[in-house]
A and B are shown apart, each in its own frame.
Chain A
């Protein structure tokens, strides 16, 4: 269960400025520290339940 589909390049179109900002770097680290934690098992249980109800509306 890992996510990082899109590279987080600074200075891209409509993105934050290119200049290095230590505050932003710290914020990135704080975010990434949580994102890199093992995902608790109850999330897997939840995912396994998704789609089990045949009466649910389908995606487009």
Chain B
């Protein structure tokens, strides 16, 4: 989507779309991993989202935000899968700690591993906003588009999520940070 569609040959558009899709795979994998916490399931989600996006590529308007469009497909597919399989909705902190594979590192006074654990205890709606904004670098507006809510809600979820993580990392009881 980086070039002027009016100057691109029509036959090249599927290739552009595919290139953009390929370029986004690392970020999609990171977003999916953050959402579902499971490496294999996350990659399955991404692949399914890619196939859905490809099948629906005629609905994408070149020049609009491809990244937000793809994140939204992935996010919606994740929640559909969660609804189909209730076990994925039960956040188990002990299971979450077993899933963690990242070595603890110390950076800027915050232990990344502690933050990773705290993320797993957040409500999914806060976690997805933190992943989109702090992780993927989306703007408030883009995150609102992906999550299907307004910018005020995005800011609220972001702030609540950030505060909750900080308090969990610092040892406050999570139920106090709602």
Contacts and interface: CB of A to CB of B under 8 A. Distances in A.
Interface of A: 1-3, 5-8, 12-16, 20-37, 39-40, 42-43, 46-47, 50-51, 56-60
A37 B25 CA distance: 11
Contacts of A50: 18, 21, 50-51, 54
Q: Which applies to chain B's interface (DSSP): helix, strand, loop or mixed?
A: helix
Interface of B: 2, 13-14, 17-18, 21-27, 29-31, 33-34, 43, 46-47, 50-51, 54-55, 57-62, 67, 102, 105, 107-112, 115-116, 119, 130-131, 133-137, 139-141, 151, 158, 162, 165-166, 169
Contacts of A24: 134, 162
A56 to B, nearest CB: 7
B23 A3 contact: yes
Given A27-B119, A46-B51, A60-B59, 18 more contacts: A3-B23, A20-B108, A21-B134, A23-B115, A26-B108, A27-B115, A27-B135, A30-B102, A30-B135, A31-B34, A32-B30, A35-B29, A36-B26, A39-B26, A43-B43, A50-B51, A50-B54, A59-B13
Contact of A39 (B14, B29, B130, B135): B29
Contacts, number: 149
A26 B108 CA distance: 9
26 contacts: A16-B134, A22-B108, A23-B134, A23-B162, A23-B166, A24-B162, A25-B107, A25-B108, A25-B110, A27-B130, A28-B135, A30-B34, A30-B102, A35-B26, A36-B26, A42-B43, A43-B50, A47-B18, A51-B18, A57-B55, A58-B58, A59-B14, A59-B17, A59-B58, A60-B58, A60-B62
